[in-house]
């Protein structure tokens, strides 16, 4: 049997801006980067390309190359990227 999922609360990564008009309790979608933990758990690594921690791992180079190829223009909000078809 699988564990029952629950909401996951974490600190907003420095540099992340919620969508315009968002209020506490509102839901919205964002692009997230995950990895599988050694225990089979799902671990959140970044939100909209912004890491949850300042630590850099050596094996991040492949992820950074992917991000550079697919990331929206700097300064573009997530909603703008969606409108441009980039997200």
Write down the residue that tokens 């909401």 correspond to.
7
Residue 73, pLDDT above cutoff 70 = no
Dist. CA 80–CA 86, nearest whole Å: 9
For residues 11 and 82, which has the higher predicted lDDT (pLDDT)?
A: 11
* Residue 27 Cα to chain centre, angstroms: 15
Q: Kindly state the average pLDDT of the residues 37-48.
A: 92
44 forms beta bridges with 34
Question: Would you call 78 exposed, middle or buried from its count of C-beta atoms within 10 A (0-12, 13-18, 19+)?
Answer: buried
Write down the residue that tokens 């629950």 correspond to.
6
Give this prediction's pTM.
Answer: 0.52
- Give yes or no for a contact between 87 and 73, defined as CB atoms under 8 angstroms apart: no
């Amino acid at each position: 049997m699988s564990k029952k999922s629950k909401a996951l609360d974490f600190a907003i990564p420095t540099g992340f801006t919620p969508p315009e008009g968002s209020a506490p309790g509102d839901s919205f979608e964002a692009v997230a980067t995950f990895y599988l933990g050694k225990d089979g758990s799902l671990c959140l690594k970044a939100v909209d390309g912004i890491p949850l921690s300042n630590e850099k791992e050596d094996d991040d180079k492949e992820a950074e190359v992917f991000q550079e190829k697919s990331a929206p223009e700097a300064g573009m909000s997530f909603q703008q990227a969606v409108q441009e078809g980039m997200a």
